[in-house]
């Protein structure tokens, strides 16, 4: 038998190639704990020899390195003294290579650290600008919450905030009808911008100037500026405004002008004009025919015009204009240079996939650097848009931290390999959208994504992902224990404290993040244990209810689960919909999920939408199933077959 000894009283026993055992030494009154569970698994059993506390857990054999990390952290990172067979060491090394291809392994204090592999093992690229994207589209937080968020954003390692106001900006004049009924006031926004500047964070406004203007074009007085009358927004390479329509361009410039006016009194180095859709309206087609030009010419001309407009509004500030890279991908280098874009704008390359090597090829970076001296990257800490990646979608409301961590680890590799092609690779914008677009349902709200933002900002700031990074993030978030994520296992997320995590007296630790994660887990359990239960699918279906025909003894087995989950979902809804007073907290069975906590962050319309979209459907299905069971439970005799089946 071989051993890996963590401390003098905390030993993992390793027996053979496939079976692992957990034990503690016979010391004093400590009892030997030894188990022989199925091959290929590690089992940790809770015991406390001299402060070494191990929580029950099960892992695959190849996860022994993660086990070592957990023990190391729980025992104050005491050094691991290995006494393993040569074969066992080789297997660990092989597993590490399989799991972490493209990353270096740094064995330190008994664990393996995922380290981004730089060109030089000592000098890897650190993004100088790490920008937190604050999307206010359709689920804007209350201003008091935003003011609390600013120091947090600074603390997690961001150097700036990119603000996408959309209809939460208090537009005036011809755009006064565009502002949301709960839009911020100018005084509120000045307070916010002052707080951002006080914390030495750069401010980058984002104003869409080609596509994604549906928050304006949805109104009747602006339909004439749509590219197609039916669509305030249209994809498939089609813009929402005509680039040659002076009225449409003036509308865009007016939005830019008003937002720039607010920012005049604050430091402003960058301004993002979006520009990720192309236009092909009738006016544009006529212009192209008359002037013998193509859509590329129109787009580049429009971008140049808007960029010059931005710079002219505040000439003393020397604002650098950013654009999404989409529309430059297929542009000819000579055309980009002809319109002077290489000196007017800086492209922001956005990609939210987990493996960017398949997306951003070396030729792409080489071509981009031939046109621009400066470039940016854009990752995501929540709500990515790819239809190929199945990890997230327009109705993803719970956080998938591992997916975004993989995206950022991949971005480390891209930046390290290609930053030297540019005069300066400015940095990376960490995006976090509230909705897929203006018309989509609400998805991950800001507090839900903050854990992901903190983890990934730390990764970008250090240029690596490893134990030291997770230790620092855990301290910033005031977590009860160290966060741990791995590419091949479920993450360990303890109780943490960040904006949106005010603690209740009775049920400690329930807040927006954990509340949403708990709801997500509950709904998944309902799907698995109730709606996908073979008894429900086979004997309690709509057909059974229609023809009053079932195996009655199955009903009692299912009814308890249905009633239990129904009660749990009802409590979720109740605590969102009702304004719970502090003196009533202890009367709610310790299940305090949403309403009180979300109301400290969001307006009532956001809370109501969340309930309607993510709580009501499951609750309604449970209620219908409960009613069906009650109805079938009354049966004592059953009809003769065949049934008179009709479509219903």
DSSP result, 362-373: HHHHHHHHHH-S
Q: Kindly state the tokens that stand for 173.
A: 């004049």
Dist. CA 496–CA 493, nearest whole Å: 8
* Residue 165 pLDDT grade (very low, low, confident, very high; cuts 50, 70, 90): very high
Instruction: Look up tokens 């009802």; give the residue.
Output: 570
Q: Residue 198 falls within a domain, yes or no?
A: yes
> Tens digits of per-residue pLDDT, 339-357?
999 999 999 999 999 999 9
Number of domains in the chain: 3
Q: Which of 20, 57, 10 is nearest to 40 (CA)?
A: 20
Angle at 563 between CA 558 and CA 569, to 5 degrees: 125
* Residue 386 pLDDT grade (very low, low, confident, very high; cuts 50, 70, 90): low
226 and 326 part of one domain: yes
The answer for residues whose C-beta is within 8 angstroms of residue 645's C-beta and 6 or more apart is none
Q: Which helix (H) or strand (E) holds 624?
A: helix 616-633
> Tens digits of per-residue pLDDT, 270-282?
999 997 655 567 7
pLDDT at residue 590 in the model: 37
pLDDT at residue 499 in the model: 72
Mean pLDDT of the chain: 76
540 and 448 part of one domain: no
145 pLDDT exceeds 80?
yes
| Distance, CA of 286 to chain centre | 43
* Residue 316 pLDDT grade (very low, low, confident, very high; cuts 50, 70, 90): confident
Dist. CA 130–CA 415, nearest whole Å: 13
Dist. CA 40–CA 18, nearest whole Å: 5
Q: Residue 208 falls within a domain, yes or no?
A: yes
> Tens digits of per-residue pLDDT, 545-589?
999 999 998 998 899 999 999 988 887 776 555 432 232 333 333
265 and 389 part of one domain: yes
| CB-neighbour burial class of residue 451 (10 A; exposed 0-12, middle 13-18, buried 19+) | buried
Share of the chain above pLDDT 70, in %: 69
411 and 548 part of one domain: no
Q: Residue 502 falls within a domain, yes or no?
A: no
Residue 277: active-site member: yes
Enumerate helices (H) and strands (E) in the chain, giving the number of each.
21, 18
Q: Which of 214, 277, 384, 597 is catalytic?
A: 277
Q: Residue 75 falls within a domain, yes or no?
A: yes
| CB-neighbour burial class of residue 560 (10 A; exposed 0-12, middle 13-18, buried 19+) | exposed
Q: Residue 473 falls within a domain, yes or no?
A: yes
* Residue 304 pLDDT grade (very low, low, confident, very high; cuts 50, 70, 90): very high
Q: In this predicted structure, which of 109-123, 179-193, 632-646 has the lowest mean pLDDT?
A: 109-123
Last residue of a domain, one of 447, 472, 487: 487
Q: Which of 442, 447, 577, 613 is nearest to 515 (CA)?
A: 447
Instruction: Look up tokens 């991950």; give the residue.
Output: 444
List, edge to edge, every strand of the sheet that includes 10-15: 19-23, 10-15, 2-7, 81-83
577 and 613 part of one domain: yes
> Tens digits of per-residue pLDDT, 501-523?
543 222 223 357 777 777 888 89
* Residue 102 pLDDT grade (very low, low, confident, very high; cuts 50, 70, 90): very low
Q: Residue 66 falls within a domain, yes or no?
A: yes
Dist. CA 260–CA 251, nearest whole Å: 14
Domain that holds residue 71: 2-99
Q: Looking at residues 315-332, what average pLDDT do you find?
A: 89
220 and 85 part of one domain: no
pLDDT at residue 275 in the model: 78
74 and 166 part of one domain: no
Last residue of a domain, one of 487, 504, 531: 487
301 and 351 part of one domain: yes
622 and 558 part of one domain: yes
| Distance, CA of 521 to chain centre | 17
324 and 466 part of one domain: yes
361 pLDDT exceeds 80?
yes
| Distance, CA of 320 to chain centre | 28
325 and 472 part of one domain: yes
CATH of the domain at 245: 3.20.20.80
- 486 or 57, which is more confident? 486
DSSP conformational letter for 527? I
374 and 455 part of one domain: yes
């Amino acid at each position: 038998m071989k051993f890996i000894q963590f401390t003098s009283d905390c030993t993992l026993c390793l027996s053979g190639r496939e079976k692992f055992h957990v034990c503690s030494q016979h010391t004093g009154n400590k009892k030997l704990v030894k188990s022989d569970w199925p091959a290929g698994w590690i089992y940790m059993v809770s015991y406390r020899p001299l402060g070494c506390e191990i929580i029950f857990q099960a892992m695959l054999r190849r996860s022994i390195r993660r086990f070592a990390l957990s023990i190391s952290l729980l025992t104050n990172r005491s050094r691991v003294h290995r006494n393993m067979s040569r074969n066992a060491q080789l297997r660990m090394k092989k597993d590490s290579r399989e799991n972490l291809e493209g990353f270096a392994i740094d064995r330190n204090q008994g664990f393996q650290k995922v380290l981004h592999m730089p060109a030089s093992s000592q000098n890897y690229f650190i993004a100088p600008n790490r920008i937190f994207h604050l999307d206010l589209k359709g689920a804007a937080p209350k201003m008091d919450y935003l003011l609390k968020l600013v120091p947090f954003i600074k603390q997690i390692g961001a150097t700036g905030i990119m603000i996408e106001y959309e209809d939460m900006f208090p537009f005036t004049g011809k755009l006064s009808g565009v502002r949301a009924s709960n839009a911020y006031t100018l005084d509120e926004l000045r307070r916010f911008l002052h707080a951002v500047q006080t914390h030495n964070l750069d401010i980058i406004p984002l104003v869409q100037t080609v596509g994604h203007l549906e928050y304006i074009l949805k109104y009747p007085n602006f339909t004439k500026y749509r590219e197609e009358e039916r669509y305030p927004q249209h994809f498939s390479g089609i813009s929402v405004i005509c680039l040659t329509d002076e009225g449409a361009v003036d509308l865009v410039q007016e939005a830019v002008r008003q937002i720039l006016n607010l920012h005049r009194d604050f430091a402003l180095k960058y301004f993002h004009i979006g520009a990720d859709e192309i236009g092909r309206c009738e006016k544009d087609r006529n212009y192209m025919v008359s002037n013998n030009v193509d859509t590329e010419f129109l787009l580049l001309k429009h971008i140049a015009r808007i960029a010059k407009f931005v710079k002219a509004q505040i000439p003393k500030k020397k604002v650098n204009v950013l654009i999404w890279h989409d529309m430059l991908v297929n542009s000819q280098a000579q055309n980009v240079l002809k319109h002077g874009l290489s000196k007017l704008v800086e492209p922001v390359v956005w990609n939210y996939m987990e493996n960017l090597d398949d997306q951003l090829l070396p030729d792409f970076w080489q071509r981009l650097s031939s046109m621009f001296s400066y470039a940016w990257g854009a990752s995501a800490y929540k709500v990515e848009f790819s239809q190929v990646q199945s990890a997230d979608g327009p109705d993803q409301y719970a956080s998938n931290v591992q997916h975004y961590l993989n995206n950022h680890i991949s971005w480390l590799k891209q930046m390290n390999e290609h930053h030297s092609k540019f005069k300066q690779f400015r940095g990376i914008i960490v995006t976090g959208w509230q909705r897929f677009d203006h018309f989509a349902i609400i998805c991950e709200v800001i507090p839900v994504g903050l854990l992901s933002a903190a983890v990934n900002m730390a990764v970008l700031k250090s240029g690596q992902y490893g134990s030291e990074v997770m230790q620092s993030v855990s301290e910033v978030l005031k977590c009860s224990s160290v966060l741990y994520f791995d590419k091949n296992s479920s993450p360990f997320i303890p109780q943490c404290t960040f904006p949106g995590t005010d603690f209740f007296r009775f049920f400690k630790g329930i807040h927006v993040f954990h509340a949403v994660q708990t709801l997500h887990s509950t709904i998944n359990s309902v799907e698995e244990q109730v709606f996908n239960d073979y008894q429900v699918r086979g004997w309690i279906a709509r057909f059974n209810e229609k023809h009053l025909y079932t195996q009655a003894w199955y009903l009692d087995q299912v009814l308890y689960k249905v009633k239990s989950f129904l009660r749990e979902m009802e409590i979720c809804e109740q605590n969102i919909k009702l304004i719970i007073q502090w003196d009533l907290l202890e009367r709610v069975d310790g299940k305090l999920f949403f309403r009180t906590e979300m109301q400290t962050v969001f307006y009532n319309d956001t809370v109501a939408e969340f309930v309607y979209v993510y709580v009501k459907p499951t609750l309604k299905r449970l209620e219908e199933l409960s009613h069906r069971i009650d109805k079938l439970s009354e049966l004592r005799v059953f009809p003769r077959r065949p049934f008179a089946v009709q479509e219903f």
